[in-house]
Amino acid sequence: MAGRLAPVVARLGSAETAFECCDTTFRIEVTGPGANRALARAARVARDLEAQLDAFRDDSAVSQLNRTGTVENEHVARLLRRALDFQDRTDGAFDVRRGTLEHELKSYLRGDTETVPDTTPRADVTVDGHRVETTAPLDLNGLAKGYIVDRTAGAASGLGRSVFVSGGGDMTPPNGVVGIESPWDDSHLTYLATDWAVATSGGYRRERDGHDHIYDPRDGDIGSRHDLVTVLSAVDCTTADALATTLSTLPYEEALTLVADWDGIEALLITDGVFRRTEGFEAHVAAT
């Protein structure tokens, strides 16, 4: 099959690239008319959005917001509107208003401080057009990477063009079979054949003395409740990313109940080595 498709791909054009973005490796693959131009445009969008949304970059729009309490930025405002919607739909299990906790926790995990953060303020926020105001730092990392993946893919899309974007464990609908990496070794736990966006969350990649980067915004408890969470979304990667973050903080019964009531979402949770799936997840698993 690959041999028969080769002349078609050559005629249409195909291009791909990989680069560091959002503290992970981004991969972009484009096939179709104008693939090289579309690829370059998509890579510029990814880097530009990273520069605006990286909370640990001093000149970013998010840093300005967290430092001064106000910013006028189209993407920050869009992200915050999505975040507030997720906050409502998850009864606060997803909440970006604990940015002080997130910053102090990241500082601890990097080894800059020796104390695990405890009580931190919860911000009051307002969004008016592109203007955002907050009374305390925000943590948009729970959905920013998924948003960048979606916007990057959108920048490369076009008539007759196929686009795939992967940012670590967050990706647009794959253009082939993809594996879910094990949190314990270099193997794959299972393989997906899906036309839904994918996001994966787990605390095992950023850990220090039993603490990881996941926290429950409702009570400030630190640490993922699961070895690994993978979410599939029929909507977009932003939704998958936000829910992967959310489910990581919930007991598995509560997590599976939340997903069961959310149209266009399936999930896999691995807790103490036990695999638990939503009812429709198996339909997205590649045949063996």
| pLDDT (tens digit per residue) in 120-156 | 678 999 999 999 999 999 989 889 999 999 999 999 9
What pLDDT score does 206 carry?
Answer: 52
Does the CA dihedral 88-200-104-271 come out positive or negative?
A: positive
What pLDDT score does 161 carry?
Answer: 95
What is the DSSP-derived secondary structure letter of residue 174? Answer: P
Average pLDDT, the chain: 87
What pLDDT score does 220 carry?
Answer: 61
What pLDDT score does 154 carry?
Answer: 98
Quickly list H helices, the chain: 2-12, 35-53, 61-68, 74-89, 99-110, 141-156, 237-248, 252-260
Is the pLDDT at 277 greater than 80? The verdict is yes
Is the pLDDT at 50 greater than 50? The verdict is yes
Quick one: tokens of 13? Answer: 């054009």
Q: Which CATH number fits domain 2-284: 3.40.50.1110, 3.10.520.10, 3.40.50.10420, 3.40.367.20?
A: 3.10.520.10
| pLDDT (tens digit per residue) in 86-124 | 999 999 999 998 877 666 656 555 565 666 656 667 899
For residues 102 and 176, what is the distance between their CA atoms, to the nearest angstrom?
35
Of 256 and 202, which is predicted with more confidence?
Answer: 256
| pLDDT (tens digit per residue) in 159-215 | 999 999 999 889 999 999 999 988 777 888 899 999 999 999 864 455 544 555 566
Q: What angle do CA 115, 116, 121 make, to 5 degrees?
A: 110
Q: Delimit the domains of the chain by residue range.
A: 2-284
